[in-house]
Amino acid sequence: MRRWLLLAGAIALEVMATLSLRAAIDAPWWAVLAVVGYGGAFVALSMLLRMGTPIGVVYGIWAAAGVALTAVLGSIVFGEPFTFLIGLGIGIVIVGVVLVETGHGTKADAS
């Protein structure tokens, strides 16, 4: 459970940071929040790796969720386009992450 909470925190921090970068175009002080968000996300990711979570799983879920949430929230908050192709691309990324996670197996499977 702790791993999922850390991963959710890393995703939330990364999405916050990326949206802050976009907001910094109009108000440069948002860049501070971007730096804090990315720093916090990387700390959470490193904690997950220290706990033994496979990097392919951690990075895949973090990146896919970050891309999907950033695209959706960017559309809502900043009025950026969200087209069928963007949605399709997000779906393909999610399918790829599921394949990476299910194909990873466990340490017991490898021996």
> Distance between CA atoms of 56 and 13, rounded to whole angstroms?
19
The pLDDT value recorded for residue 110 is 47
Letter string b/e over residues 47-59, b meaning 16 or more CB atoms within 10 A of that residue's CB: bbeeeebbeebbb
Q: Is the pTM of this model over 0.75?
A: yes
| In the block, residue with structure tokens 């949430």 | 69
The pLDDT value recorded for residue 106 is 57
> Distance between CA atoms of 81 and 41, rounded to whole angstroms?
26
What is the tens place of the pLDDT at every residue in 64-91?
Answer: 999 999 999 999 999 999 999 999 999 9
Domain residues for the domain of 73 are 2-110
The pLDDT value recorded for residue 41 is 97
What total of structural domains would you count in the chain? 1
Q: How confident is the model at residue 107 (pLDDT cuts 50, 70, 90)?
A: low
What is the tens place of the pLDDT at every residue in 45-61?
Answer: 999 999 999 888 898 89
51 vs 108 pLDDT, higher one: 51
